[in-house]
Amino acid sequence: MKYLLFFLAGFIQWGIAQSSLYDTDLLPADFHVERRRQLRARMSDNSVVVMFANPVRNRSNDVDYTYRQDPNFFYLTGFSSPNAMLLVFKTPQTIGKVTTDEILVIEPKDEEQEKWTGKRMTVKEVTGILKFKAACYADSFQLSTIPFASFTKIYNPYFYNDVRDDRYDKYDLFDLEKNYRYLTDSLKTVETTGQYRLMNQLREIKTPEELTLLRKAIDISCQAHLDLMKKLKTAGTEYQAQAIVEYGFRYNGAEDIGYPSIVGAGENGCVAHYTSNRKKFTKTDILVVDAGGEYHGYTADITRSLPVNGKYSEAQAIIYNLVLKAQEEGIKACKAGNKFRSTHEATSAVIKKGLVDLGIIKNADDYQLYFFHGTSHYLGLDVHDAGTYGELKPNSVITVEPGIYIPPGSPCDKKWWNIGVRIEDDVLITTGEPEVLSAKLPRSIAEIELLMNSVK
C-alpha cells in the first residue's frame, strides 16, 4: 500500500489518463515545456539549474508517507515519481553524444520492484509524453560529463535532511545527490546561488491552466464546507466534523487534503494551527474549520467559524462580525500594484479599533495578543505558495484570513474567553476588482445560521 501513489501518480501523469477511465484535465506537457522556457529566460548567461525530486519520507518502520513530488520539480517537469534529477541549461550543452539545454535523469526500470510500486516511466515516455528534449536512466548517466566547472553560475538545489540511503539501490536520490556534491562542492571559480528567487517569480503568476485547476480545488472545497454547515449539528466531536469535510473533498474528486485540517472547538479554535481534532463539542462552542482539498496538485485554503448549535451567541456574533468587517477591508485591498502587506494593514486597522471599542484592549498596539498572524499568503501548488511578496500582480492568487483568538485566561472580560474566529477566502488578483474564488461559501451570520438550521 505504501507505494500505491507512485503507481497512480505516474500512471495518470504519463498520458494513460487520456483514457476516459482516468482524469483528462491534467496539466498538459506543453505547460511544463513553457515553464522551462520561461526559467531559461530568467537565468544568468552560462548557467545551469540543478533540481532533485522530493525524497521518499518514512512514516514508521517499513511504511512511507504517501509520496508527493517537490512542487518546483513538478512545475517544471510534470514528473510525479521519486529518485530523479533535472538539469536546465541556459544554452545547449554537449553531453556525451547529445546536445541539449535540458535533461531529466530517472530511475532505471526494475520489473521486480515495479510489481510493488507500479510501472516506472521509460526514457521514451519522458521524451515523448512529457516532451523532454533529453532523458536518461540513472544507471547510464555519467554526471561527470556535465562541465560544471565551466559554468559562471550554478543555481544549486535544496538538499533535504531526510533523504535516506537505500543500500540496495545505487541509483536512488541519496546517490544522485552524493555524486552531485562530490563534483561541485570543491568548485572555486563558479558562483553558486539558490534557485528560489527564479521559481518564486515564475510560480507567483498563475497561467490559465493553473487557474482552472485552482478553481476546481476551491469549488470542491466550498461544497465540502457547505456540506459541513448543513450536517454540523449531527456531529458531536471535532473529528466527526473533520470526517464530514474531508469526505466531501474525496467524494467530489480531490486526491488529497491540501494541508492537515484544522478543526478546533472552543479553546482549540484559539490555536492557529491546531490539528489534534479530538475534542467533544459543548453546546456553546464555536468551531474553527480551516480545510482545503487538493486537486491535481493545486490546493484551496478556506476557513469558516461555525456555532455548533446553529446559532452564534451575542459575544460570538460581535467578534465574528468584527473579523468579517476586517476581511472585507482586506479583500478591497487586493488590487494589482498594492504592496502585498496592504491586506494585513487593512485588516489590522479594523481589528485594532474594534478591540479597543469593545474594551478587550486599551492600547491599540496590543491587538497582536488576539490577532498574531499575517493576513495573506500566496496559493497554488503549495498552500503557502511561492511568490515575491512585493507588489500584488494580476493572475496571482492569495488568501485573506484575519482572525481574533481569545483563549481562557486572557486579560479581558471572561465573556470573550474561548472565542476563536477566522474567516478565510481565496482571492484572484485581476487588472480591476479582485475576484473571490470561494465566494459561493456563505460568510455572513444570517446566511450561515439559515443554512445550518434549514436542514432537519
By annotation, the residues acting in catalysis are 62, 273, 290, 301, 373, 377, 384, 401, 405, 422, 424
In DSSP terms, 287 is beta-bridged to 265, 306
What is the C-alpha to C-alpha distance for residues 249 and 146, in angstroms, rounded to an integer? 45
Q: Do 21 and 130 contact (CB within 8 A), yes or no?
A: no
What is the C-alpha to C-alpha distance for residues 69 and 12, in angstroms, rounded to an integer? 14
Q: Which of 291, 296, 298 is nearest to 221 (CA)?
A: 291
What is the C-alpha to C-alpha distance for residues 355 and 322, in angstroms, rounded to an integer? 9
Provide the greatest CA pair distance for the chain: 76
The alpha carbon dihedral of 434, 438, 444, 450 has a sign of positive
Q: Do 371 and 404 contact (CB within 8 A), yes or no?
A: yes
What is the C-alpha to C-alpha distance for residues 168 and 453, in angstroms, rounded to an integer? 59
What is the C-alpha to C-alpha distance for residues 378 and 362, in angstroms, rounded to an integer? 33
Cβ neighbours of residue 183 under 8 Å, at least 6 residues apart? Answer: 143, 144, 146, 148
Cβ neighbours of residue 433 under 8 Å, at least 6 residues apart? Answer: 335
For residue 8, give the C-alpha cell.
497512480
Q: Do 291 and 264 contact (CB within 8 A), yes or no?
A: no
Cβ neighbours of residue 377 under 8 Å, at least 6 residues apart? Answer: 383, 384, 385, 387, 398, 399
